[in-house]
Chain A
Amino acid sequence: MPGKQLLMTFPVTATSHTLADYVARGGYATLRRVLTQLKPEDVTKEVNASGLLGHGGAAFPAGRKWGVVHLNDNQPHFLCANADEGEPGTFKDRWILENAPHLLLESMLISSFALQVRNAFVYIRGEFDLPYRRLAAAVEEAYTAGWFGEHILGTEFSCDIVVYRGAGSYVCGEASGLLSSLEGKRGYPRNRPPRLTVQGLYKRPTVVNNVETLANITRIIAEGADAYRKVGTAKCPGTQLVSISGHIAKPGVYEVEYGYPMQQFLFDDCGGMLPGQKLKCIVPGGISTKVLTAAEVEPLTFDHQSFAGAGSSLGSGGMIAIAEGTCMVRLLQVMLRFYHHESCGQCTPCREGMGWLHRIIDRIVAGEGQPDDIDSLYRISRLQDGMTICGMGDAAGYATIGILDKYRDEFEYWVANKRSKLAGNLEGTVHA
Chain B
Amino acid sequence: MKHLIPEFEKLKARFPAGFESSLVLPCVRRIQEDRGYVADDDIAGLVEYLGVPRIQIEEVLSYYTQFRRKPIGRFHLQACRNVTCSMRSAERLIDHLSQKLGVAPGQTTPDGVFTLSTAECLGSCGTAPVVMVNDTYHENMSIEKLDALLEELKGQG
Q: What residues of chain A have their CB less than 8 Å away from a CB belonging to chain B?
A: 76, 85-91, 94, 118-119, 125-130, 160, 162, 164-170, 181-187, 202, 243-247, 251-253, 283, 287, 318, 320, 322, 326, 331, 334-335, 337-338, 341-342, 344, 426-428
Query: Which A residues lie within 8 Å of B136 (CB)?
Result: 129
Tell me if A165 and B25 are in contact (CB < 8 A): yes
Nearest CB on B from A167, distance (A) = 4
* Shortest Cβ distance from residue B58 to the other chain A in the assembled complex, whole angstroms: 10
Q: Known contacts being A129-B137, A320-B83, is A85 close to B123, with CB within 8 Å? A: yes
Please pick, from B22, B25, B60, B86, the residue contacting A426 in the complex, using a CB distance under 8 A: B86
CA A118 to CA B18, docked complex, whole Å:
14
Question: Given contacts A162-B15, A185-B59, is CB(A167)–CB(B66) below 8 Å?
Answer: yes
Contact check, B123 vs A127: say whether CB atoms are below 8 A apart.
Answer: yes
- Which residues 84-120 of B sit at the A interface, judged by CB distance below 8 A? 84, 86-89, 91, 119-120
List, sorted by A's number, 5 A–B pairs whose CB atoms are closer than 8 Å.
A183-B21, A184-B23, A185-B60, A287-B83, A338-B120
B65 sits at the interface (CB 8 A) = yes
Which B residues are CB-close (under 8 A) to A168? Answer: 64-67
Instruction: Find A187's partner among B63, B119, B122, B128 (CB 8 Å cutoff).
Output: B63
User: Cβ of A164 and Cβ of B63 under 8 Å apart?
Assistant: no
Q: Tell me the smallest distance from the CB of A396 to a CB of chain B, in Å.
A: 13
Please judge, given known A-B contacts A91-B123, A338-B82, A338-B120, whether A185 and B65 are in contact too, CB under 8 Å: no
- In the complex, residue of chain A having the shortest beta-carbon distance to the beta carbon of B82: A88
Q: Which of B31-88 touch A at CB < 8 Å?
A: 52, 56, 59-60, 63-67, 81-84, 86-88
Q: How far is the CA of A160 from the CA of B124 in the complex (A)?
A: 30
Contact status B59-A89, CB under 8 Å: no
Q: How far is the CA of A191 from the CA of B122 in the complex (A)?
A: 28
A-B contact count (CB 8 A): 144
A-B residue pairs, 5 tightest by C-beta: A184-B24, A168-B65, A167-B64, A245-B125, A168-B66
CB pair A184–B21 under 8 Å, yes or no, is: yes
Contacts of A202 in B (CB 8 A): 18-19
Chain B residue numbers with a CB within 8 Å of A128 are: 123
Known A126-B66, A166-B64: A91·B124 in contact at CB below 8 Å = yes
* B83, A167: Cβ atoms closer than 8 Å: no
Among A167, A185, A246, point to the contact of B29 (Cβ < 8 A).
A167
The distance from the CB of A156 to the nearest CB of chain B, in whole angstroms, is 18
State whether A91 and B125 are in contact (beta carbons under 8 Å apart), knowing that A164-B25, A169-B65, A334-B86 are contacts in the complex.
yes
Q: Return the contact of B66 from the options A86, A127, A251 (Cβ within 8 A).
A: A127
- Supposing A164-B22, A245-B128 touch, asked if A186 and B63 sit within 8 A by C-beta, the answer is yes
The reply on B6 being an interface residue by CB < 8 A is: no
Q: Do A184 and B83 touch across chains, with their CB atoms under 8 A apart?
A: no
Decide yes or no whether B157 CB sits under 8 A from chain A: no
Contact partners of B28 in chain A: CB under 8 A: 167
Please name all residues of chain B whose beta carbon is closer than 8 Å to the beta carbon of A85 when the two chains form the complex.
123
- The answer to whether B60 touches A428, judged by C-beta atoms less than 8 angstroms apart, is no
Chain A residues whose CB sits within 8 angstroms of the CB of B59 once the complex forms: 185-186
A187 to B60, CA, bound (A): 9
Please pick, from B22, B65, B81, B124, the residue contacting A184 in the complex, using a CB distance under 8 A.
B22
Which residues on the A side are within 8 Å of B16 (C-beta)? 76, 118-119, 160
Asked if residues A160 and B60 are in contact (CB atoms below 8 Å), the reply is: no
Is the Cβ of A322 less than 8 Å from the Cβ of B29? no
Q: Give complex CA distance A169, B67 in Å.
A: 11
Across the interface, do B127 and A251 meet the contact criterion of CB distance under 8 Å?
Answer: yes
User: Are B22 and A245 in contact, CB atoms less than 8 angstroms apart?
Assistant: no
CB pair A251–B121 under 8 Å, yes or no, is no
- Chain A residues near B87 (CB, 8 Å)? 246-247, 320, 322, 326, 331, 426-428
Partner among A126, A130, A186, A253 whose Cβ is within 8 Å of the Cβ of B126: A253
Contact B66 A88 (CB under 8 A): no
- On whether the beta carbons of A88 and B125 are closer than 8 Å, the reply is yes
B26–A164 contact, CB under 8 A? Answer: yes
- The answer, yes or no, to whether B135 is at the interface (CB within 8 Å) is yes
CA distance A334 to B121 in the complex (A): 11
Do residues A342 and B120 form an inter-chain contact, with CB atoms below 8 A?
Answer: yes
Q: Which residues of A contact B125 (CB under 8 A)?
A: 88-91, 243, 245-246, 251, 318, 320
Complex CA gap A310/B137 in Å reads 36
- Complex Cα distance A252/B127, Å? 8
Is B14 an interface residue, CB under 8 A from the partner?
Answer: yes
- Contacts of A165 on B, CB cut-off 8 Å? 25-26, 29
- Among B14, B26, B120, point to the contact of A341 (Cβ < 8 A): B120
Assuming A127-B66, A184-B52, is B121 touching A320 (CB within 8 A)? no
Report the Cα distance A322→B87, complex, angstroms.
Answer: 8
**Residues of chain B within 8 A of A428, CB atoms compared:** 87
| Residue in chain A with minimal CB distance to B63 | A186
Query: CB-CB < 8 A to B150: which residues of A?
Result: none
Closest to A172 in B: B64
Residues of B within 8 A of A322 (CB): 87
- Contact between B65 and A167 (Cβ–Cβ < 8 Å)? yes
Which chain A positions have C-beta within 8 A of B14?
Answer: 160, 162
Given contacts A86-B121, A187-B63, A427-B87, contact A129 B82 (CB under 8 A): no
Q: How far is the CA of A167 from the CA of B30 in the complex (A)?
A: 12
Within the assembled complex, what's the spacing in Å between the Cα atoms of A335 and B14? 39
| Docked CA distance A245–B123 (Å) | 11
Scoring B86, B91, B127 by chain A CB atoms within 10 A of each residue's CB, the highest score goes to B86
